[in-house]
Chain A
């Protein structure tokens, strides 16, 4: 079973965001709604891509994640970098907090 979450970039400031369980966009992947790849994921993506959301974010898409305990980690390192920030600047991005 592949788990997925929806990510996008926020329209006004461009930051990476994640579609959460309340159908809002969150800056933290830990709040993302985790769904099964397939129909469930596609349905959620349709909601995340609707006209209202097009005014909040740019280009929503699904990413594969590992879920262990409360922790959600993207599978691909590209997406890991998006949830953290530039690997060469630990002082910047979400990882800086």
Chain B
């Protein structure tokens, strides 16, 4: 993975001192809260219901064991012993003191981490496929490109005060696990007719009040032109994006209002001017950054592992876990391990400091010291020998990290909601916990199969509920929590916004409603192979709607 050189480190160190000074100026009254707020946000510091919150960037969801241990250290010494992995592959701490934050950032910088641009109306952390570099279906590892974007976007002088926040995602595989179509810019690595690799560029995806799927404005962008093209898009957006209404300020509204074709034209015109500028990426620079992501030194292993097969045969619990949480690796004899942060009845994405240390140890021992965070709020050990899976599982199980529910109904995605978040209208976590408990029984989850439930506590849609197979949005109705259900959304390469199925449901009704939806599916599916989403797409919303609200 990427290692800072002296320049990267110096920038982060300078940024911390700048922030330390900003904090001091706020405390002394030189800066008003109004002036300080955007500055602290640009360094990932929110003020939530109970305390400040720090969002630390995990660039494109890749971290090493030392970084994970540092999170544990911060959780123990500056927070309340835990952290929360977010849907944008970052980690949040819920209780830091403002006066401690510069020191926390110093601790993070010791392991090459920062909180730069994890909030604010600027370019945010670029996200990607959690299986990057390990998955068999990938054309190319997307992470060097994410790193190139990270550097270009870090403290960009022109794009620090955009109309609104700006999020990018990159996928290197045709099976899109990075939800690129619902980002401000989505990049998909693809091949042209000559076999060259480049990017398909999508713009204007996003959820929130006005959910939209991104539109392709460039079918094939040569790699070396990536930064000039991104700069062209951002420059058009910065000048012409709406600033009169916060809810219409995202790039999706601009693209929608002027049309994707017109937008593409503006970008193309701007791009022609800067294509051959200093933004043109020299081959040596691409090579140097890509060299950080060369595959780890894999052992040459046989396709079949007898010790592994033996354990699978002997231990049913282990077999279950393998079936659900372990994925195929491109390297023979290796596997991808999904670490579930969704224990039955637990808080999705939360992890204790002790668990962090365990994951770090496992990464060192079994996965080249590397860990991934996922937009489903889980963790991944990307390169584990099949022979080592049993040992990994034993340790994970001991620490409550081996719930065999990856991709199943209890692998719920939920935002912090009104238990923590100052923007939320309703709670998300208690609902996630109740659904998890309702479906906690393993055989039943397996019977139901793959289905994604995503719960957002407000219309900002942090969990992407619009593109959940079952999406749940919490709203406040005269001081009561209500939940609105959408069905049929998806975030993959066939991304689609789900449909609102009917009137909002009360806290008491909503878990039963999810069960009704699931039972309806089980009743009408053609076979066990037909997933919830497949069945929904075949029969449409009517049977589900009728089951929920009665035939009307």
A and B touch in the complex (CB under 8 A): yes
**Stretch in A6-14, A18-26, A37-45 touching the partner:** A6-14
Known: A14-B47, A15-B51. A86 touches B419 (CB 8 A): yes
Q: Is A82 an interface residue (CB 8 A)?
A: yes
- Asked whether B98 lies within 8 Å of A12 as measured between CB atoms, the reply is yes
Is chain A's binding surface mostly helix, strand, loop or mixed?
Answer: loop
**Number of contact residues on B: which range applies?**
20 to 34
Q: Is A2 an interface residue (CB 8 A)?
A: no
Within 8 A of A (CB), among B51-100: 51-52, 80, 95-99
Interface residues as binary, A61-90 with B (CB distance below 8 Å gives 1, 0 otherwise): 000000000000001111001100111110
Which of B49, B50, B52, B96 has its CB near the most chain A CB atoms (within 10 A)? B50
- Asked whether A13 lies within 8 Å of B51 as measured between CB atoms, the reply is yes
List chain B residues, Cβ under 8 A from A75: 479
Q: Which residue of A lies closest to B96 (CB)?
A: A14
Which of B27, B33, B98 meets A14, CB within 8 Å? B98
Which of B27, B47, B48, B49 has its CB near the most chain A CB atoms (within 10 A)? B49
- Asked whether B430 lies within 8 Å of A16 as measured between CB atoms, the reply is no
Which of B29, B80, B347, B430 meets A55, CB within 8 Å? B29
- Asked whether B98 lies within 8 Å of A13 as measured between CB atoms, the reply is yes
Q: Is B32 an interface residue (CB 8 A)?
A: yes
Task: Give the shortest distance, in Å, between B255 (CB) and chain A (any CB).
Answer: 34
- Asked whether B98 lies within 8 Å of A77 as measured between CB atoms, the reply is no
Q: Is A33 an interface residue (CB 8 A)?
A: no
- Asked whether B49 lies within 8 Å of A11 as measured between CB atoms, the reply is no
Within 8 A of A (CB), among B327-371: 347
Interface residues as binary, A43-67 with B (CB distance below 8 Å gives 1, 0 otherwise): 0000000010011001100000000
Q: Is B433 an interface residue (CB 8 A)?
A: yes
A73 to B530, CA, bound (A): 50
Which of A15, A54, A55 meets B50, CB within 8 Å? A15
Task: Give the shortest distance, in Å, between A9 (CB) and chain B (any CB).
Answer: 6
Interface residues as binary, B415-432 with A (CB distance below 8 Å gives 1, 0 otherwise): 000111000000101100
Which of A59, A88, A92, A93 meets B430, CB within 8 Å? A88
List chain A residues, Cβ under 8 A from B80: 92
List chain B residues, Cβ under 8 A from A51: 29
List chain A residues, Cβ under 8 A from B96: 14
Task: Give the shortest distance, in Å, between B159 (CB) and chain A (any CB).
Answer: 27
Interface size in chain A (residues, C-beta < 8 A): 25
Which of B97, B427, B430, B481 meets A13, CB within 8 Å? B97
List chain B residues, Cβ under 8 A from A77: 418, 479, 481
List chain B residues, Cβ under 8 A from A15: 50-51
Task: Give the shortest distance, in Å, between B45 (CB) and chain A (any CB).
Answer: 9
A78 to B99, CA, bound (A): 26
- Asked whether A14 lies within 8 Å of B52 as measured between CB atoms, the reply is yes
A12 to B96, CA, bound (A): 10
- Asked whether A87 lies within 8 Å of B97 as measured between CB atoms, the reply is no
- Asked whether A82 lies within 8 Å of B479 as measured between CB atoms, the reply is no
Task: Give the shortest distance, in Å, between A80 (CB) and chain B (any CB).
Answer: 10
Q: Which residue of B lies closest to A52 (CB)?
A: B29
A9 to B479, CA, bound (A): 22
List chain A residues, Cβ under 8 A from B433: 88
List chain B residues, Cβ under 8 A from A9: 47, 51
A9 to B29, CA, bound (A): 16
A13 to B99, CA, bound (A): 7
Known: A11-B98, A88-B347. A16 touches B50 (CB 8 A): yes
Which of B51, B80, B433 has its CB near the most chain A CB atoms (within 10 A)? B51
Known: A11-B98, A13-B97, A76-B479. A59 touches B50 (CB 8 A): no
Task: Give the shortest distance, in Å, between A29 (CB) and chain B (any CB).
Answer: 13
- Asked whether A93 lies within 8 Å of B418 as measured between CB atoms, the reply is no
Task: Give the shortest distance, in Å, between A85 (CB) and chain B (any CB).
Answer: 6
Task: Give the shortest distance, in Å, between A71 (CB) and chain B (any CB).
Answer: 19
A19 to B347, CA, bound (A): 33
- Asked whether B479 lies within 8 Å of A88 as measured between CB atoms, the reply is no
- Asked whether A59 lies within 8 Å of B33 as measured between CB atoms, the reply is yes
Task: Give the shortest distance, in Å, between A95 (CB) and chain B (any CB).
Answer: 10
List chain B residues, Cβ under 8 A from A93: 50
A84 to B28, CA, bound (A): 30
A59 to B427, CA, bound (A): 23
List chain A residues, Cβ under 8 A from B419: 81, 86-89
Which of B26, B49, B418, B429 meets A16, CB within 8 Å? B49
Known: A54-B33, A76-B479, A87-B430. A82 touches B51 (CB 8 A): no
List chain A residues, Cβ under 8 A from B479: 75-77
A82 to B422, CA, bound (A): 10
- Asked whether B347 lies within 8 Å of A12 as measured between CB atoms, the reply is no
Which of A76, A82, A86, A92 has its CB near the most chain B CB atoms (within 10 A)? A86
Task: Give the shortest distance, in Å, between A58 (CB) and chain B (any CB).
Answer: 5
> Can you give 20 contacting A-B residue pairs, CB < 8 Å?
A9-B51, A12-B27, A13-B51, A13-B52, A13-B98, A14-B48, A14-B52, A14-B96, A14-B97, A15-B50, A16-B49, A54-B33, A55-B29, A59-B47, A77-B481, A78-B49, A82-B49, A85-B50, A88-B347, A88-B433
> With A78-B49, A86-B420, A89-B347 given, can you name 13 additional A-B contacts, CB distance below 8 Å?
A11-B26, A12-B97, A12-B99, A13-B99, A16-B50, A54-B29, A59-B47, A77-B481, A78-B418, A81-B418, A87-B419, A92-B50, A92-B95
A residues near B (Cβ < 8 Å) are: 9, 11-16, 51, 54-55, 58-59, 75-78, 81-82, 85-89, 92-93
**Top 9 A-B residue pairs of the complex, sorted by shortest distance between their CB atoms:** A14-B52, A86-B419, A14-B51, A13-B97, A88-B429, A82-B49, A12-B99, A55-B29, A88-B419
